[in-house]
Amino acid sequence: MIAGFIICVLVGYQLLDTIALLLNLRSLKEEVPAEFAGIYDKSEYRRSQQYSRAKAHLEMISSTVMLAALLLFWGLNGFERLDVWLRGLGWHPFWTGILYVAVLAAARELLELPIELYRTFVVETRFGFNRTSWQTFLLDHLKNWAIAGVILFGFLALVLGLLQTFGIQIWPVAWLVTAAISILLTYLAPTVILPLFFKFQPLPPGELRDAVTGYCQRLNFPLRDLLVIDGSRRSSKANAFFTGFGKNKRVALYDTLINHHPVPELVAVLAHEVGHYKKQHVLQQFILAQVSLFLAFLLASFCITWPALFAAFGVTHISYYAGLVLFSLLIQPLGILFGIATYAWSRHHEYEADRFAAETTGDSSPLEEALIRLSKDTLHNLTPHPLLVGLRFTHPPVPDRVRALRALSLPAPH
């Protein structure tokens, strides 16, 4: 019964996601949306639609391959076979558990690698976005795997160690430890991890720096560093973000963003990010993440030693490490529903941050122009199907954001 439920949900969501992608392809229109009239010529707009088709086809293949691999591994009794083989090595259960999870995680990474290669060196290269060399691609993945391995080992060492020493009743402490790790990673990501991949340099003095610092001072935004990231070494796509706690805020702008946008647009993009901070979106999302983590551990405390769960996956030996892996599959239906709800919430936050940027800069036009320019430069799909938006999008479609900005009634400048 449990196995049938999980299979039905996974296959059902795969079908729904595929239908959404197909509907999204059908929703591609030959006419340029009114908000972009005069921005795209016919050949550019046709190229953006070709990019949307190429990405959709790859996404359908990728998700189908990953689901098929999971169901095949399950059908061949892979979870049991792997457990029996590893326990046969005679290692301590703690190390057996570490290796069990590591083998499954490594297998998933290796399965995704050809898809990533094709996405980077075929799709992204075909449309002029990729600037990543083979050497950089390889080094990036080796670094990613090393970092992920350290984090995974740390998590498993702490959680499995607690569970195997004190039993399932220790789950609240395991949750607290995991929450502490997530907070630590939030702090380390911009200061330790990202510099392993990108070069950060202070934004040089000039008009942009003066405009940004002036805006931040006027809004009492505690800006500590204003940095430029060499994103152009990997992609021509642009981005911006801020990190840090309390009065330790760092704003980072991709060099590709700086090179393609005038100062007013860049200030508007920054104002949008400040809006997330001022509207407490970051804090809300952090609290939501910790609450969801707490609920996951609470559910896990009932399930990871549940005999019916092990039986559903054909695993005969009940263990905490296998229970964690199997529980991660059992909870996927809830994760899907949770994702749809949080994506809707995130889209609402984007509208709020857009409004904040327009109100605090006194003009919605720079942000409108920035969004339009970004969507053009990245070949953004201007007419996504609502079903795909609901299932996947953390940001509203750009035409919707532009229309919302144009509908604002801003006070006249003094």
pLDDT per residue as tens digits for the range 10-25: 899 999 999 999 999 9
Phi, psi of 226, rounded to the nearest 5 degrees: -120, 110
What tokens appear for 193 in the block?
A: 């991890």
Decide: 310 and 318 in contact? Cβ < 8 Å: yes
| Cα–Cα distance, 133 to 126 (Å, whole number) | 14
pLDDT at 385: 93
Is the domain of 96 the same as that of 159? no
**pLDDT value at 165 more than 60:** yes
Q: Is residue 344 part of a domain?
A: yes
pLDDT at 413: 45
Q: Is residue 414 part of a domain?
A: no
**pLDDT value at 349 more than 90:** yes
Is the domain of 283 the same as that of 227? no
Phi, psi of 205, rounded to the nearest 5 degrees: -60, 145
What tokens appear for 347 in the block?
A: 């889209």
Residues 51-77: what's their mean pLDDT?
A: 94
pTM for the predicted model, two decimal places = 0.89
- Of 197, 217, 233, the residue at which a domain comes to its end is 197
Decide: 313 and 77 in contact? Cβ < 8 Å: no
**pLDDT value at 414 more than 50:** no
* Secondary structure letter of residue 189 according to DSSP: I
pLDDT category of residue 333 using cuts at 50, 70 and 90? confident
Q: Is residue 140 part of a domain?
A: no
Is the domain of 82 the same as that of 166? no
pLDDT at 53: 93
For the chain, percent of residues with pLDDT exceeding 90: 54
Q: Is residue 181 part of a domain?
A: yes
Q: Is residue 311 part of a domain?
A: yes
Is the domain of 105 the same as that of 161? no
Residues 201-226: what's their mean pLDDT?
A: 87
Is the domain of 89 the same as that of 16? yes
Residues 101-114: what's their mean pLDDT?
A: 95
Decide: 364 and 406 in contact? Cβ < 8 Å: yes
**pLDDT value at 291 more than 60:** yes
pLDDT mean across residues, the chain: 89
pLDDT at 244: 62
Q: Comparing 65-74, 277-286, 317-326, 387-396, which segment has the lowest mean pLDDT?
A: 277-286
Residues 48-74: what's their mean pLDDT?
A: 94
| Cα–Cα distance, 243 to 186 (Å, whole number) | 8
pLDDT at 203: 86
Q: In terms of DSSP bridges, do strands 223-229 and 249-254 run parallel, antiparallel, or are they unpaired? A: parallel
Residues 315-330: what's their mean pLDDT?
A: 93
pLDDT at 139: 93
pLDDT at 260: 86
Is the domain of 188 the same as that of 307? no
Is the domain of 113 the same as that of 188? no
pLDDT at 323: 94
Is the domain of 15 the same as that of 126? yes
| Cα–Cα distance, 46 to 29 (Å, whole number) | 9
Q: Is residue 249 part of a domain?
A: yes
Is the domain of 310 the same as that of 383? yes
- Of 159, 179, 197, the residue at which a domain comes to its end is 197
Q: Is residue 327 part of a domain?
A: yes
* pLDDT tens, residue by residue, 234-258: 887 777 777 666 566 778 888 888 8
Q: Look at the chain and report how many structural domains it folds into.
A: 3
**pLDDT value at 199 more than 90:** no
Is the domain of 305 the same as that of 397? yes
In 3-state terms the chain splits into helix, strand, coil percentages (rounded to 5) of 75, 5, 20
Is the domain of 310 the same as that of 364? yes
Q: Is residue 156 part of a domain?
A: yes
Helix (H) or strand (E) holding 279: none
pLDDT at 386: 93
Is the domain of 117 the same as that of 14? yes
User: What CATH number has the domain bearing residue 216?
Assistant: 3.30.2010.10
What tokens appear for 327 in the block?
A: 């529980």
**pLDDT value at 355 more than 60:** yes
Domain of 348? 2-130+278-406
**pLDDT value at 123 more than 60:** yes
